[in-house]
Structure 1
Amino acid sequence: MLLNEFDMLTAQLTAVTYPNIQARTENGATLMIHTNQKQREDPAFWQSIRAILKAQLWVPVSKRLHQLTDTDWLLPPTQA
């Protein structure tokens, strides 16, 4: 089941400079993706983010909080 399209933005990472992640939405708007403490302390997270930047992949970002989502564009199984 897909999340409500009004809850998510599709963004492409444009710059990664710890602890900041800058992205561009499909509409061309620039936004800063906010990281939480756990993400800031996780070297594997930053390695993954750099790989996503290099591959120029599009990622789901919550509209309200400007945070990466861990469930992509799908609802978690408990909400489906």
Structure 2
Amino acid sequence: MNTTKNTDIVSAQIVQLGSQIITLKTENNEVITVSRPASTRKDKLFMKTMHDILKSGLWIPVNKKLKQILRYDWFDTPVESYSF
């Protein structure tokens, strides 16, 4: 059974974009690196969206234990549907 602790999901800002690695910084200045989701490899808008999020300084939800950017906001979506 895969359980997610409340502390596993954090807000983070993108600080660096690579073609395959995205580097983020949490509110506690913890650095997290995540791999670009395989499901986005052919998605031309994904990297443009990530670049726009980087430029704007938006905070996005990240599972720091699994090192995954979450697809949805955590208010209305079950935990099982969060990651790419």
| Same fold flag (TM > 0.5) | yes
Q: Deviations over 1:14-62 (max 9, x none)?
A: 0111111101011111110222211232111111000000001000001
Q: Percent identity?
A: 30
Match of 2:7 in 1: 6
Structure 1 counterpart of 2:33: 32
Pairing of 1:1-80 with structure 2 (within 5 A):
5-76=6-77
Q: Give the 3-state SS of the residue equivalent to 2:16 in structure 1.
A: strand
Q: Which has the higher contact order (CA 8 A, sep 6+)?
A: 1
Mind listing any 5+ residue stretches in structure 1 that lack a counterpart?
Answer: none
Aligned-residue Cα RMSD (Å) equals 2.0
Given that 1:16 and 1:50 are in contact with CA atoms closer than 8 Å, whether structure 2 keeps it comes out as yes
Runs of 4+ in structure 1 over 6 Å off:
none
Distance 2:67 2:12 in 1: 10
More helix by share: 2
The number of residues matched between the two structures is 76
